[in-house]
Structure 1
């Protein structure tokens, strides 16, 4: 356990593991994607955690590149019928997106904490 008054654990390891960004011990999620109200281990309030659509955008880019690249390769190499493409690539796209969603959201929240990100404000 890291001392949250001094050095914090890596935001990458805590985010990808779904752990508290301050102590690295408590769970970040309550369910699949819902962020807990606070850390059970150190009491950090997760009210700052608003990843918005950031993780979803990166996942669409990653999954789209991977699945589309494989589908194009299979089309050029084997020329299967369209129903086979649909049967192979739609489930793969869903699986890849669902597998990446929680770690990417955890990473976004953890990086928000590490970089002290907040709501944008205009100086007047």
Structure 2
């Protein structure tokens, strides 16, 4: 006997990943693109306020902080090295500029990357986003 959940997911309308990730990065509902993914800074809403899509199934875990560290590091470190080699600024400038820039970029990227991960999970029907229930 075959599992009905497998056929349910196969028969459902396709969910293109790139638009869902892009909507999530914009902090919008991956389904409709109009409602907000977050109820608070990093707290994913239980459902979309516009279309009613349930978002509580997400399991982003450590992926958004990892991606944030990777992206911010690839922005800040080359800038820091270039500034040092091109201008030789005093150490106090490095000590004030780079931590502040790192914090600002991290706070900007973290919710966007978390929204992108939620959008990706929604598009792939992971963790209950496909309509099936997990036991």
Q: TM-score range by the shorter chain?
A: 0.7 to 0.9
Say if 1:14 and 1:107, in contact at 8 Å, map to a contact too. yes
Offset at 1:41?
2.0
Unaligned residue ranges in structure 2 (runs of 5+) = 1-11, 129-135
- Residue matched to 2:116: 107
Q: Aligned match of 1:48 in 57, 69, 76?
A: 57
Q: CA RMSD in A?
A: 1.9
Alpha-carbon distance in 2 for matches of 1:37, 1:118: 14
TM-score, normalising length: structure 2? 0.76
1:35 aligns with 2:44: yes
Aligned length: 115
- Residue matched to 1:98: 107
Offset at 1:59?
1.2
State the structure with bigger RCO (CA 8 A, min sep 6), 1 or 2: 2
Runs of 4+ in 1 over 4 A off after TM superposition: 5-9
1:77 aligns with 2:86: yes
Farther-moved stretch of structure 1 (91-100 vs 9-18): 9-18
- Residue matched to 2:8: none
